[in-house]
Amino acid sequence: MKLPSFPFFKSKDAIAVDLGASSIKIVYLKHSGSKYSLARWELIPVSDGSVELSPQDRKNIATTRIGEFLAREKIATKNVISSISGNQVIVRYVKFPKLSYEELTKTIQFEAEPYIPFDIREVNLGFHTLGDVIEEGQKKMETILVAAKKEVVQSRIDIFNDLGLRPIIIDVDAFALTNAYELNTDPSVMETVVLINIGASVTNISIVENRIPRVVRDVFISGNSFTKAIQRNLACDTKTAEDLKLRHNLLVTVEEKEKTLADNQKEALQVSTAITPVARDLVAEIHRSIDFYISQNPDRSINRILITGGSANLKNLDKYLSQEIKLPVEVFNPLKNVYGGETVPENFATHLSIAVGLGMRRENDIIKK
Ligand SMILES: Nc1ncnc2c1ncn2[C@@H]1O[C@H](COP(=O)(O)OP(=O)(O)OP(=O)(O)O)[C@@H](O)[C@H]1O
Ligand SMILES: [Mg+2]
């Protein structure tokens, strides 16, 4: 016999799991008053890129290691929140006819079809309306439309079901990033920021204007691109290239380069020379995003850039981006405004940005207003 569910037992808690290419990040946030506190966190290494892992390998590693974490930490909640990004998800800004939320929910498949390059029956759809606009004399709603292939979402869900967990939200990295930014920004601050989460295989770029994401893109210049450039230029294996990347700086100023030369630090020079073109490619992608944002309204401008993700730890990357883009660039710590967040070293905290943004979500909170 199946017992009815008891609403007074319903847990609002959930753990957030960010399944990254190089590591799995788990964050368990609890509400305390108007603030969040960090109940648990974990960073589980998966791959340094030296061995090619199949999706099945990744699934097995995730199931085993998350299972171990849950058992060890005695986590009571079964609710889990996770996300997808990169090629797995399509985000489009579209203007739909003015409809109520309920009406759009009913007709979304029909309305979304022209914007989705897949069979509409094979995708999960989500939307978030930003506000009304007038176009060609008609009242329309500016809407963020999100689509992901059902099989991709299902493969995420399967991992958690295998662990006896209950996936309550599968979000998109870029929106989790916006949440993490919001959590750490004074509500009175009005600004436009470029949020850049630089991971191992993907970089999420979002331009957020007064807390509303206006541009959302994923590009594939990220940590692995730096490692591969070192590997190619220094003719070494992936593991060595990865170690060299962690050890050396991007040389930005003429003085830094001259000093390194004078000290005869050949390896440091070689590494910087190898990775500078990758940093330049990243700059081009950031410029492209900013240009796109400004092209929609020339009065727009950017106040600052926040970089996060593991690759934000690349020494001097902030300085390089700032010099090239001519905007202030800061490394973003998603736990700055979270009780207990100070116990996490900053170079670890940057890896947790997506997981922190996911950890703030709760059931029935589809996409935050
Ligand atoms: N000190 C450092 N200097 C340079 N790169 C670093 C440093 N520390 C970590 N990284 C890089 O950060 C990347 C991992 O970051 P992160 O955990 O955000 O990625 P991920 O979430 O696993 O990957 P993805 O988001 O692409 O799926 C790796 O490429 C790693 O080499
Ligand atoms: Mg990531």
* DSSP code per residue over 176-209: HHHHHHHHTS-TT---EEEEEEE-SS-EEEEEEE
Task: Check if 351 has its Cβ closer than 6 Å to any atom of ligand 1.
Answer: yes
Task: Check if 222 has its Cβ closer than 6 Å to any atom of ligand 1.
Answer: yes
pLDDT tens-digit readout, 256-301: 999 999 999 999 999 999 999 999 999 999 999 999 999 999 999 9
Q: Residue 366 above 60 pLDDT?
A: no
Return the CATH superfamily for domain 186-332: ATPase, nucleotide binding domain (3.30.420.40)
- Kindly give the distance from the C-alpha atom of residue 315 to the centroid of ligand 2, in angstroms, as a whole number: 19
Q: What is the CA radius of gyration of the chain?
A: 22
Residue nearest to atom 6 of ligand 1 (CA): 311
Scored b (16 or more CB within 10 A) or e, 117-139 reads: eeeeeebbbbbbbeeeeeeeeee
Nearest to 189 by CA among 339, 279, 306, 81: 306
> Nearest ligand to the C-alpha of residue 199?
1
Q: Residue 227 above 70 pLDDT?
A: yes
Q: Do domains 1-87+152-184+333-369 and 186-332 have the same CATH topology?
A: yes
What confidence category does residue 11 fall into, taking pLDDT thresholds of 50, 70 and 90? low
Q: For the domain bounded by 1-87+152-184+333-369, which CATH number is listed?
A: 3.30.420.40
Task: Check if 313 has its Cβ closer than 6 Å to any atom of ligand 1.
Answer: yes
- Kindly give the distance from the C-alpha atom of residue 340 to the centroid of ligand 2, in angstroms, as a whole number: 22
What confidence category does residue 363 fall into, taking pLDDT thresholds of 50, 70 and 90? low
Sheet containing 212-219: which strands, arranged edge to edge?
212-219, 203-209, 192-198, 304-308, 329-331
- Kindly give the distance from the C-alpha atom of residue 198 to the centroid of ligand 1, in angstroms, as a whole number: 7
Supply the pLDDT for residue 5: 43
Q: State the average pLDDT for the chain.
A: 92
- Kindly give the distance from the C-alpha atom of residue 278 to the centroid of ligand 1, in angstroms, as a whole number: 15
Please name the fold of domain 88-148.
Answer: Dna Ligase; domain 1 (3.30.1490)
Ligand 1 pocket test, candidate residues 42, 156, 313, 316, most atoms within 8 A of CB: 313
Q: What percent of the chain has pLDDT over 70?
A: 95
Task: Check if 200 has its Cβ closer than 6 Å to any atom of ligand 1.
Answer: yes
| CA dist., res. 121 & res. 130, Å (int) | 25
Task: Write the DSSP assignment of 65-78 as a string of letters.
Answer: HHHHHHHHHT----
- Kindly give the distance from the C-alpha atom of residue 351 to the centroid of ligand 1, in angstroms, as a whole number: 7
Looking at the CA of residue 309, tell me the nearest atom of ligand 1.
Answer: 18
Tell me which residue has tokens 């996490």.
344
pTM for the model stands at 0.93
Tabulate helix, strand, coil % of the chain (nearest 5). 45, 30, 30
Pairing state between β 304-308 and 192-198: parallel
Task: Write the DSSP assignment of 12-68 as a string of letters.
Answer: ---EEEEE-SSEEEEEEEEEETTEEEEEEEEEEE---SSS---HHHHHHHHHHHHHH
Q: Residue 368 above 50 pLDDT?
A: no
Pairing state between β 138-149 and 166-172: unpaired
Task: Check if 21 has its Cβ closer than 6 Å to any atom of ligand 1.
Answer: yes
**Amino acid of residue 158:** D
Residue nearest to atom 9 of ligand 1 (CA): 310
| CA dist., res. 209 & res. 231, Å (int) | 38
Between 279 and 130, the higher pLDDT residue: 279
- Kindly give the distance from the C-alpha atom of residue 323 to the centroid of ligand 1, in angstroms, as a whole number: 22
Tell me the domain boundaries of the chain.
1-87+152-184+333-369, 88-148, 186-332
Supply the pLDDT for residue 51: 86
